[in-house]
Structure 1
Amino acid sequence: MSKMCQIRRIQSDLKYLQENPLQYCTGGPVGDNLFKWLIIIDGPQHSPYEGGKYKLAIDLLYYPLKAPIVVFQTQIFHPNVGNDGYICLEMVQENWSPIIKIQQVLMEIYSMLNDPNPERFLNAEATRLFMESKEEFIQTVRQHVRLYASK
């Protein structure tokens, strides 16, 4: 895929996102760089992440032929997010397809916040608490929201 085709695809995804905004996230390219995005995603209502605002850095260097690289810049306690902010999500790994739009990736991340998948974990402690003590898991998540995501 030529660089020009790649740019047109990213511009198309950006336009689609602007015309069909997701209520729970904002953002887009950083300055004039179409290949680097910053997105703020809200923690889902009625979840332990409610009230949190999470910064996501998205690298589109090889998009759409390869999945975007999405990293939480805001510290988060979640089974599917490593301490380095990288996520474990089927859509952006083995199930990636070039027809998937950036908006769909954001929707999947939002869904992941609401419904962790302990079988695909990156954070062993979050997974252990999620599986063994939901109450302690929820308390720890809420503490992280207060400390890192409510600014």
Structure 2
Amino acid sequence: MIRLFKVKEKQKETAENAKENGLVKKQSAGELRLHRDISELNMPEECKISFPNGKDDLMDFEITITPYRGYYMGGGFVFSFKVPAVYPHEPPKVKCKTKIYHPNIDLEGNTCLNILREDWKPVLNINTVIYGLYHLFTEPNHEDPLNQEAADLLRDNPKLFGLNVRKSIEGNIWVGGAHFPGCKTGDFY
């Protein structure tokens, strides 16, 4: 029994020394949940995850969506995710880094996805958000727009909307008063 106390005492001492030397970082509940969410990801094959700051920084990552069908086929669209420490009680902050002609994404990259705002619940996870973003490319929604011009065109003239999307993906063009540098992936051209 005395040995057990000595072992526990030694473990505690080792842990304290590691903390003092900055070797151990205690993870928040949000980081633990995010770690689980990422380890259980089941994304569409058109979606890829990357960690620009390395895998040690799970709270900031990027998702690239390259749709294989629909208006946005052939484009590559990068979304940054900033996950708050209080996740999952608050949703991640998601921004589109790729300039895109889309009714639900404005020219600054703000994204209109209800589960990132009023419909967020702690039972939702990163996989749900990724599928929501992916759905924006397969079924853009003109009824809840951030880019009103794109939404009106999608509703009133889907063929011209599709042409504008193609031009914006091809790049180096002005569409609706905004310059688009392009975002084609080369996979479909």
Deviating beyond 6 angstroms after TM superposition, the runs of 4 or more aligned structure 1 residues are none
Question: What SS does structure 1 have at the residue aligned with 2:36?
Answer: helix
Q: Is 1:107 aligned to residue 131 of structure 2?
A: yes
Q: Identify which range, 93-102 or 60-69, moves more after superposition.
A: 60-69
Deviation (angstroms), 1:63? 2.3
* More RCO (CA 8 Å, sep 6+): 1
Tell me what 2:30 maps to: 6
More strand by share: 1
Provide structure 1 residue ranges, at least 5 long, that are not aligned to the other structure: none
What is the aligned length? 147
Provide structure 2 residue ranges, at least 5 long, that are not aligned to the other structure: 1-25, 172-181
Tell me what 1:15 maps to: 39
Tell me what 1:55 maps to: 78
Letter in 2 for 1:55: V
Distance 1:96 1:44 in 2: 28
Structural mapping, 1:121-140, within 5 Å: 121-140=145-164
Distance 1:104 1:78 in 2: 20
Distance 1:63 1:50 in 2: 32
Is the radius of gyration larger for structure 1 or structure 2? 2
What is the TM-score normalised by the length of structure 2?
0.73
Question: What SS does structure 2 have at the residue aligned with 1:119?
Answer: coil
Tell me what 1:150 maps to: 184
Deviation (angstroms), 1:3? 5.5
What is the TM-score normalised by the length of structure 1?
0.90
Contact map agreement 2:103 2:151 (CA 8 A) in 1: yes
